[in-house]
């Protein structure tokens, strides 16, 4: 297909496709004449992946380039590629305090979760736990356990649908599956809070201060 069809089918404007070609994020097409190249399904797949990484994940192009390098490196297992993609989704700064980091390490060790020691998501969790301290509170261990349990159940469902036909599709689905579902899960939890509150406090009245 010509670049115009590639743009149309991917929903990415021609100017942006040319930009991705110049930036080496998209491999060149097959030259047909001095001024025209032909593109195929692999270019379409790659464009969709770039779009998921930029538009949905909001990653800067430098990070997108590194994820794509991992996808293209035949010596890296799909596990390593997905690990690189997952790591790219979290920011590692600002660092969290040692207590919160130890709590995260302990949780992951007890659950035997295979998470890279350098994953920035560890720090993201530690920072989220630290936020309770600002209000003089702490998330109880039992609640954290239930959260971890349900998070794993959700992740298992999410990744059950990740196809292993091409590495690009696997990465695209993993990124989309991680990010697009986040607002869905948060909205559902808020609705569930409304339901649980309505049932618990519907009849009773509580003492006024």
Q: Which of residues 12-41 bind its own copies (CB under 8 A)?
A: none
Residue 161 binds to its own copies (criterion: CB under 8 A): yes
Q: How far apart are CA 135 and CA 120, in angstroms?
A: 25
Which residue among 1, 3, 38, 56 contacts its own copies (CB under 8 A)? 56
Stretch that binds its own copies, among 18-26, 30-38, 60-68, 80-88 (CB under 8 A): 80-88
Asked if residues 101 and 122 have their Cβ atoms less than 8 Å apart, the reply is: yes
Q: Which residue has the tokens 């390490």?
A: 105
| Least separation in angstroms between CB 201 and its own copies | 4
| Least separation in angstroms between CB 171 and its own copies | 10
Query: What is the SS3 assignment for 209?
Result: coil
Sign of CA dihedral 161, 163, 167, 169: negative
Give the residue among 34, 56, 42 at the shortest CA–CA distance from 1.
42
For 25, which DSSP code?
S
Between the CA atoms of 143, 148, 154 and 156, what dihedral angle is there, to the nearest 10 degrees? Answer: -160
Residue 94 binds to its own copies (criterion: CB under 8 A): no
As a residue count, the chain comes to 209
The count of residues interacting with its own copies (CB under 8 A) is 95
Which residue among 6, 12, 108, 118 contacts its own copies (CB under 8 A)? 108
Which residue among 74, 94, 98, 117 contacts its own copies (CB under 8 A)? 74
Which residue among 6, 83, 88, 101 contacts its own copies (CB under 8 A)? 83
Residue 1 binds to its own copies (criterion: CB under 8 A): no
Which residue among 24, 45, 118, 141 contacts its own copies (CB under 8 A)? 45
| Least separation in angstroms between CB 136 and its own copies | 8
Residue 66 binds to its own copies (criterion: CB under 8 A): no
Which residue among 91, 102, 106, 193 contacts its own copies (CB under 8 A)? 193
CA 61 to chain CA centroid, nearest Å:
16
Residue 109 binds to its own copies (criterion: CB under 8 A): no
Classify residue 170 as exposed, middle or buried by CB count within 10 Å of its CB (0-12, 13-18, 19+): buried
Residue 22 vs 204, nearer CB to its own copies: 204
For 64, which DSSP code?
H
């Amino acid at each position: 297909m010509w670049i115009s069809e590639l743009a149309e089918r991917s929903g990415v404007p021609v100017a942006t496709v040319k930009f991705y070609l110049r930036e080496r994020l998209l491999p060149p097409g097959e030259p047909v004449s001095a001024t025209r190249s032909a593109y195929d399904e692999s270019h379409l797949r790659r464009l969709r992946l770039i779009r998921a990484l930029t538009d949905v994940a909001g990653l800067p192009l430098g990070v997108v380039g590194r994820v794509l390098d991992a996808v293209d490196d035949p010596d890296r297992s799909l596990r390593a590629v997905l690990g690189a993609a997952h790591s790219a989704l979290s920011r590692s700064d600002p660092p969290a305090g040692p207590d919160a980091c130890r709590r995260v390490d302990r949780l992951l060790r007890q659950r035997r979760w295979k998470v890279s020691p350098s994953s920035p998501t560890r720090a993201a969790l530690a920072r989220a736990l630290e936020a309770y301290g600002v209000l003089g509170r702490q998330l109880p261990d039992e609640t954290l356990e239930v959260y971890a349990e349900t998070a794993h159940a959700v992740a298992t469902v999410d990744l059950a649908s990740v196809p292993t036909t091409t590495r690009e599709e696997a990465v695209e689905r993993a990124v989309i599956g991680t990010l697009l579902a986040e607002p869905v899960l948060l909205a559902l939890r808020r609705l569930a809070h409304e339901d649980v509150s309505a049932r618990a406090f519907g009849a009773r009245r509580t003492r006024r201060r």
